[in-house]
Structure 1
Amino acid sequence: MTSSETPKGSGTPRGPERWRTVEEALARVRIFESDYTAAHRDASRRRIADQLVELRWMQDLATPASGAARPAWPPLLLHERAAQDLRALCQRVIHDEDAVGRLARFAASRDPGGALTFACLLLLADREEGARFWLQFAAGAGQVTGALGLYLLHLRRGEWRDARHWASQIPALEREPCQYTPVAHEVVDTAQAPGGVAVYIDLADCGAAVPEAAVKDAMQDVDVELLEDLGGVPQPSPELAHQLEGLVAACR
């Protein structure tokens, strides 16, 4: 008899059982007795619990906010959705009216908001590792939009635990002073998502997008500085802010 069948007359319907909680699922787990120790059993239960929680979290990410229409993104396509949202986030950031000035200050004095703008340019130019470094710099300096970018970046990569970590950082960063938030967002408390939050980002159309081929051309001359224990980290040039101003103006 397979695990999906039940004896006749048992009164239990055939087919896979549906569990409402992780505890119910774990209570039905069966482990064959052989050479397994108590430590093996505990490790197996922890793995199953992690996988079930992760699945619940993915389903929560695919659930719209209250009153919104259900999106056509099944959980298996969440990485594609995150990739598109990350690109849209970057376009919104570089179109912000303060982006050029902040990027200029970043080249001179490492303004955290400018680090966010620079990271978005790197992402649009497909220079992901450098972008991740500067998103972490921005988030570490208290910029919540840097955490939003890292949340989407790790979702796109399928790195659920890292995405969950940055989602959980967003409420704390919202309370930091001197916020620069070029992209509106909402964090919703929910007991169903690990970290207790689900993130909704306003990615309404910002107008004509800056062509990514043009961004790549502008980023060709970006210097890469070798930092101890970090490897090569892209550095902005003083001219990059003027190039960004020209790219955005050409789209208007």
Structure 2
Amino acid sequence: MPRSHDTEGDVIEAMLTSDARAIAVAFESRRRPRRRRPAVAPAPVVPPSAAGPGAREEAAHELDLACVLVINAVEAADSLERFVDDRGIDPEGALVFACLLHVAGHTRAAGFWWQFAAGGGSRTAAYCLHLSHRRDGEFRDAAFWRAQAAHDPQEPPPPVSRTDSRRKLLSDAARHELLIQWHSGLTPHLPAALESVVNRLAVDGDDEDFGEVPQPAPGLVERLSREA
């Protein structure tokens, strides 16, 4: 398993389920992403006991938690800013952006950026796709992405941060509220002011699979920080 880069990374590993603990460590991959969608390989048949409504609800609940922990991580702000500045070639930032979209209610569009990040080698993004497909009852696709998430390539060294500010993407109050909502069995959602920032992002057309896909924009991290 890739090493955690900080104590909050350890929290991510500790709070997710046993499957997620095995693979869902945010910001673990440094390879350049590919926009090409990977071909879906044959996946094992899912037993009926693992494909019921309870499994879908559990996947939705776990996906919510994974997203909250990703955007709460101390690397989130810097990763998202790199993603914006490098014009969309940073898988870590794409993962953060996808999770931000999910928590802002754009969960369909989040799938586009999870797939983008997974194409760049992010196992956490692949696991989010596993949970997303499982939530939607698409169990063969879910099995494919779980296999991708379990793949353990040699981990390159982490990138050097451009700053040492350790800025947080969201305020402490917003971060804690998301966790409280999740622990209360609610669907975590951003405060209205932060959600408005996300909703004002330009969208790229109407993707056949993902609908209107919000695009990262310069100043996004600063606007989120200002509204927090």
The residue that corresponds to 1:126 in the other structure is 105
- Bigger RCO of structures 1 and 2 (CA < 8 A, at least 6 apart): 2
- 1:152 partnered with 2:131: yes
Structure 1 residue ranges (4+ consecutive) displaced by more than 6 angstroms after TM superposition: 227-231
Provide the rounded CA distance (Å) in 1 between the counterparts of 2:95 and 2:157.
12
Provide the rounded CA distance (Å) in 1 between the counterparts of 2:106 and 2:206.
17
Q: Which runs of 5+ in 1 are unaligned?
A: 1-49, 60-74, 181-205
Larger radius of gyration: 1
Does the Cα contact within 8 Å between 2:60 and 2:135 map onto a contact in 1?
yes
Does the Cα contact within 8 Å between 2:207 and 2:213 map onto a contact in 1?
no
Residue identity matched to 2:218: P
The residue that corresponds to 1:222 in the other structure is 201
Q: CA deviation at 1:148?
A: 1.0
Does the Cα contact within 8 Å between 2:56 and 2:135 map onto a contact in 1?
yes
- 1:88 partnered with 2:57: no
Does the Cα contact within 8 Å between 1:100 and 1:244 map onto a contact in 2?
no
Provide the rounded CA distance (Å) in 1 between the counterparts of 2:104 and 2:212.
16
The residue that corresponds to 1:101 in the other structure is 78
Q: Which runs of 5+ in 2 are unaligned?
A: 1-42, 159-174, 180-188
The residue that corresponds to 2:153 in the other structure is 175
Q: 1:208 to 1:176 in 2, by over 3 A?
A: farther
- 1:55 partnered with 2:47: yes
Residue identity matched to 1:83: A
The residue that corresponds to 1:212 in the other structure is 190
Secondary structure at 1:132's aligned position in 2? helix
Q: 1:81 to 1:240 in 2, by over 3 A?
A: same
Q: CA deviation at 1:104?
A: 0.7
Does the Cα contact within 8 Å between 2:126 and 2:149 map onto a contact in 1?
yes
The residue that corresponds to 1:18 in the other structure is none
Q: CA deviation at 1:234?
A: 1.5
Does the Cα contact within 8 Å between 1:125 and 1:219 map onto a contact in 2?
yes
> What TM-score comes out, normalization by structure 1 length?
0.55
Residue identity matched to 1:58: A
Provide the rounded CA distance (Å) in 1 between the counterparts of 2:226 and 2:61.
24
| Pairing 1:2-151 to 2, within 5 Å after superposition | 53-55=45-47, 58=50, 75-109=52-86, 110=88, 111-151=90-130
Q: CA deviation at 1:212?
A: 2.3
Once the two structures are superposed, residues 137-184 of structure 1 have per-residue CA deviations (whole angstroms, 9 ceiling, x without a partner) of: 100000111001101101110110010000111222x3153488xxxx
Identity, in percent, stands at 36
Provide the rounded CA distance (Å) in 2 between the counterparts of 1:213 and 1:246.
13
The residue that corresponds to 1:242 in the other structure is 222
Q: 1:229 to 1:77 in 2, by over 3 A?
A: closer
Q: CA deviation at 1:229?
A: 7.1
- Aligned residues: CA RMSD: 2.9
Aligned residues: 157
